[in-house]
Amino acid sequence: MIRHLALVASCLLAALSPLAAQSFPQRPITLAVGFAPGGSTDIVSRLISERFGANLGPEARVVVENRPGASGIVAGDWLRRQAPDGHTLMLIEVSSHAIAPAALVGGTPFDPLADFTQIAMIGTAPMILIASPSFPAANAQEAVARLRASRPEEFAYATSGVGSIPHLGVEMLAAQLGARFTHVPYRSGGLMLTAIHQGEGQFGIAVLASAAGQVRGGLVRGLAVTSRERFPSFPEIPTLNEAAMPGFELTTWNMIIGPPNMPPAVLAQLNRALLGAVADAPLRERLLQAGVLPWAGENTPETTRAFLTAEVQKYREVVARTGIRLER
């Protein structure tokens, strides 16, 4: 009898064990994006979601859910309060979890490190200086000269939101030029690009992954990328460093995170599925054509957390050095 009760108890404990790896996932996985459709994070999330889901199992599904607001801060604040069972994740970029905590007046309602579980890196991407077709400059050198000589707030620049990397990028540009421009924030990179195409903002610094299609289609003019080297799929576009502003460098990245205190077995399973997705040759090519350089280095939850820790510190140092503060 005692042996029978012990066996029953053992079976019950196994059944009640929280999300044993062999039973995960139990329902579709929500992959939240902190911006409206059409921006770089939305594009990347939709590119990886199918392969990511397939790597979790034949019946697994990853569903992208847009939760725009405050450059990803709203979605981040929502994510940290979700159950840590692996069924609710978020694709983040530098704006909400590195720039805003350091540069946004009032900070963020969450700790970018302690309030989340870091799972895996997806890739990195340069920014690109873009302008409307009517902007009075033919290339990066002329654009920088025109912006440097402009009257205060003569030009308006569009961004994907207050506290976003496009916001910080133009403020860094303005500080280096000794100029001042009017900020016009939108809810996503897609809306930002539409505004620049239509002339509501004369220029901006966009994530290349967001702007690639519009640059290729001539809807906006791609003047210079902000990475140290030219991007492989846009070899004709110079770097801002080589064209007009020595030393100017700014890049973004994409990372998958979850709520805090996720079960180690589930975390390991998610990391493996994401590494398999990022290693998939057709997906890597699609990411590259979209303006994202797929991650190639070590990619564990521990190295992902270390990367984010370094990024948070980097932007704290940028704020301390430049005095740039981003107003809501």
| Reported confidence tier of residue 162, pLDDT bands at 50, 70, 90 | confident
Same fold, 23-124+253-322 and 126-251: yes
Average pLDDT over residues 96-101: 94
| Reported confidence tier of residue 39, pLDDT bands at 50, 70, 90 | confident
Q: Which residues, other chains included, contact 320 with Cβ-Cβ below 8 Å and sequence gap of 6+? A: none
pTM: 0.84
Domain 126-251 has CATH 3.40.190.10: yes
If you write DSSP's letter for every residue of 188-256 in order, what string do you get?
A: SHHHHHHHHHHTSSSEEEEEHHHHHHHHHTTSSEEEEE-SSS--TT-TTSPBHHHHT-TT---EEEEEE
| Reported confidence tier of residue 89, pLDDT bands at 50, 70, 90 | very high
Q: SS in 3 state form for 66-124? A: ECCCHHHHHHHHHHCCCCCCCCEEEEEEHHHHHHHHHHECCCCCCCCCCCCEEEEEEEE
- Domain range summary for the chain, segments of one domain joined by +: 23-124+253-322, 126-251
Average model confidence (pLDDT) across the chain: 91
pLDDT digits (tens, 9 = 90+) for 260-298: 999 999 999 999 999 999 999 999 999 999 899 999 999
Give the 3-state secondary structure of residue 182: strand
What single letter denotes the amino acid at residue 66? N
Give the 3-state secondary structure of residue 256: strand
Note whether 209 and 291 are within 8 A (CB): yes
At residue 9, does pLDDT exceed 60?
no
Domain 23-124+253-322 has CATH 3.40.50.300: no
Give the 3-state secondary structure of residue 299: coil
Query: What CA–CA distance (Å, rounded) separates 65 from 56?
Result: 19
Cα dihedral value 173, 179, 180, 185, nearest 10:
-20
**291 token code pair:** 């303006």
Note whether 202 and 221 are within 8 A (CB): no
The residues with which 205 forms a beta bridge, in sequence order, are 129
pLDDT value, residue 326: 85
Query: What CA–CA distance (Å, rounded) separates 299 from 297?
Result: 6
pLDDT value, residue 4: 45
Task: Of 199, 106, 212, 127, give the one whose Cα is nearest residue 157.
Answer: 199
How many C-beta atoms surround the C-beta of residue 186 within 10 A?
25
